[in-house]
Amino acid sequence: MSDNPILIFLTCCILMSCGLKEQAGEKTLPNILFIAVDDLRPELNCYGKSHIHSPNIDKLASRGVIFNRNYCQVPVCGASRASLLSGTRPTADRFVDFATRLDEDFPGIQSLPEYLKNQGYTTLSRGKIFHHANDQLDAWSETPWSPASGNPEYGWFDYADTNSLAIIKRAWASSPDSSRSRVRGPAFEYPDVEDSVYRDGKLALKGIQDLERLANDKKPFFLAIGFWKPHLPFNAPKKYWDLYNINTIPTSPNPFIPEDAPKNAIHNSGELRNYGLIPHTGPVSRDTAKLLTQGYYACISYTDAQIGKLLDAMDRLKLTENTIVVLWGDHGWNLEDHTLWCKHANFETSMRAPLIISAPGRTQNATSNALTEFVDIYPTICDLAGLKAPEHLDGMSLTPLLDHPDQTFKDFIFSRFHQGESIKTTDFVYTEWIDPKSEGTTARMLYDHRVDSLENKNVVDDPKYADIVKKLSTRLLERRNASALKKSGILN
């Protein structure tokens, strides 16, 4: 560089000007922290359930909007995630079961992470985002990363207690190779161990490392972190179990089949019955029901603590002011509601799912009671980032609710599980099961949430509801017809 001080000064001014210009262009897109929590039902302190210890999700909610009447598209892992991440609705033959792959069910569709990557984002998948970590690999800037189970020889169950390991080892040894994929250990355990012994603890530490690296990156990031708990088995460190008193723990207010419910609506809770000490048929004992409930709550609090570590890292790294945080559970969960455990049903307890969005400059510490659904997440993120949403999306941006949470939004939303198609309005939820061959209706149910929020009596055959049944059935038919036209390419 020249020794001329004036020339040095002018050169520095030019370099600084270029630097500032570049800097201004680098972070015009907001970062996105995308937190998935497997099998989390909307039972959290910030949802008004004060018996749940969830201080960190509560903190996130205080910085954003709780979508209190949000619904999944399909109440099972893989299908729900494929729908959410593609921004498209399920059909009778698309996004059906837990093992759904987006790249098989909807090849060529541009998923949310792929779209953001193409817009200049660094996109990272950590833990359980797609059900299959190798689904849509091109959507990610790096190969998806997940911590290994503590005992991978017995699958993904991640037991840490020596008794649990002995039980699954015996079950494994006594099972033929062909049935080992269904071999489970106990449904829960509570060893006195550190958070990082289990995968979700390791995942939080990895997420913090990612945030530290990404904070210094010039590109905006979409960091997707998917926690496994509170999915079965309910394995969590003892200190989280100790937050709950089994003698006073609340259990389901309606552990019975709704009056006049069709048999299609009820299942045998098969996912739970694969685990040790759970009977193959019939109700579990009262003591077991309480232990399962305590374990589910303990796993919520364990995951909440891991989320807190990520939020603390965001604050420390000064990322909070320029980062959108979206937290979602992939569907609801039954704690013996309607006799059911797990998900896989068309009731509110399976369909309603958590959604919290904290976006810089938007409303904080508020709750929206508008009807929303998971297909709305993709267009919302596009909108918040100032990006044009792709044409294929089925949902609507939630940004009007992020600015004015009290307003209404949709008149109805749609969910489905296998052949059961549901339409939900502010006051009603109507479900009909369609035979795939004849396309005839094989069963129906209607619940009036104005007088029956727990869905204890199916009133579909009550004459006084005939008009509403007809109206909602027509809406479902229109939905089916629109899906068929879209599939045929006649509609976008």
List residues with catalytic annotation: 77, 131
Specify burial of residue 20 (Cβ count, 10 A radius: 0-12, 13-18, 19+): exposed
CB of residue 418 to Ca ion, shortest distance in Å = 16
* Three-state secondary structure string covering 78-105: HHHHHHHHHCCCCECCECCCCCCCHHHH
Residue 38 or 383 with smaller CB distance to Ca ion = 38
Residue 69 or 229 with smaller CB distance to Ca ion = 229
Number of H helices, E strands in the chain: 14, 15
39 binds Ca ion (CB under 5 A): yes
d(CA 320, CA 125): 20
d(CA 343, CA 267): 10
Tokens 């039954």 belong to residue: 334
Give the gyration radius of the chain's Cα atoms. Answer: 24
Number of residues that bind Ca ion (CB under 5 A): 4
Among 33, 34, 38, 227, binds Ca ion (CB under 5 A): 38
CB of residue 78 to Ca ion, shortest distance in Å = 8
CB of residue 344 to Ca ion, shortest distance in Å = 10
161-173 b/e (C-beta count within 10 Å ≥ 16 → b): beebbebbeebee
CB of residue 111 to Ca ion, shortest distance in Å = 18
Q: Using CB atoms, what's the residue nearest to Ca ion? A: 77
74-103 mask for Ca ion (x: CB under 5 A)? ---x--------------------------
Q: Which stretch binds Ca ion (CB under 5 A): 47-55, 103-111, 259-267, 322-330?
A: 322-330
Residue 224 or 402 with smaller CB distance to Ca ion = 224
The single-letter DSSP state of residue 348 is: H
Instruction: Name, in order, each residue with C-beta under 8 angstroms of 458's C-beta and a sequence gap of 6 or more.
Output: 258, 259, 260, 261, 262, 445, 446, 447
Contact positions with Ca ion (CB under 5 A) in 281-300: none
CB of residue 83 to Ca ion, shortest distance in Å = 13
Residue 129 or 429 with smaller CB distance to Ca ion = 129
325-364 mask for Ca ion (x: CB under 5 A)? -----x----------------------------------
d(CA 303, CA 228): 8
Residue 77 or 261 with smaller CB distance to Ca ion = 77
Residue 69 or 331 with smaller CB distance to Ca ion = 331
Q: Which stretch binds Ca ion (CB under 5 A): 34-42, 126-134, 219-227, 388-396?
A: 34-42
Q: Which stretch binds Ca ion (CB under 5 A): 39-47, 123-131, 279-287, 361-369?
A: 39-47
Strand partners, 67: 368
CB of residue 260 to Ca ion, shortest distance in Å = 29
Angle at which helices 286-316 and 199-214 cross, to 10°: 20
Residue 41 or 94 with smaller CB distance to Ca ion = 41
Of residues 359, 339, 360, the one with CA closest to residue 349: 339
370-409 mask for Ca ion (x: CB under 5 A)? ----------------------------------------
339-365 b/e (C-beta count within 10 Å ≥ 16 → b): bbbbbbbbbbbbbbbbbbbbbbebbee
Specify burial of residue 446 (Cβ count, 10 A radius: 0-12, 13-18, 19+): buried
Residue 63 or 229 with smaller CB distance to Ca ion = 229
Contact positions with Ca ion (CB under 5 A) in 58-77: 77
d(CA 292, CA 155): 21
CB of residue 98 to Ca ion, shortest distance in Å = 8
CB of residue 272 to Ca ion, shortest distance in Å = 14
Residue 38 or 394 with smaller CB distance to Ca ion = 38
422, 473 contact by CB (below 8 A): no
d(CA 63, CA 298): 24
Q: Which stretch binds Ca ion (CB under 5 A): 30-38, 155-163, 310-318, 431-439?
A: 30-38
CB of residue 369 to Ca ion, shortest distance in Å = 24
Alpha helices in 346-431 (DSSP H): 348-351, 377-385, 399-403
Give the CA distances from residue 231 to residues 148, 187, 269, 292, 299, in Å, rounded to whole numbers and listed in that order. Answer: 16, 10, 14, 11, 8
Contact positions with Ca ion (CB under 5 A) in 173-212: none
Give the CA distances from residue 211 to residues 130, 220, 285, 408, in Å, rounded to whole numbers and listed in that order. Answer: 21, 11, 45, 36
CA torsion sign, 380 to 382 to 386 to 392? negative
> Residues in the site for Ca ion, rule: CB under 5 A?
38-39, 77, 330
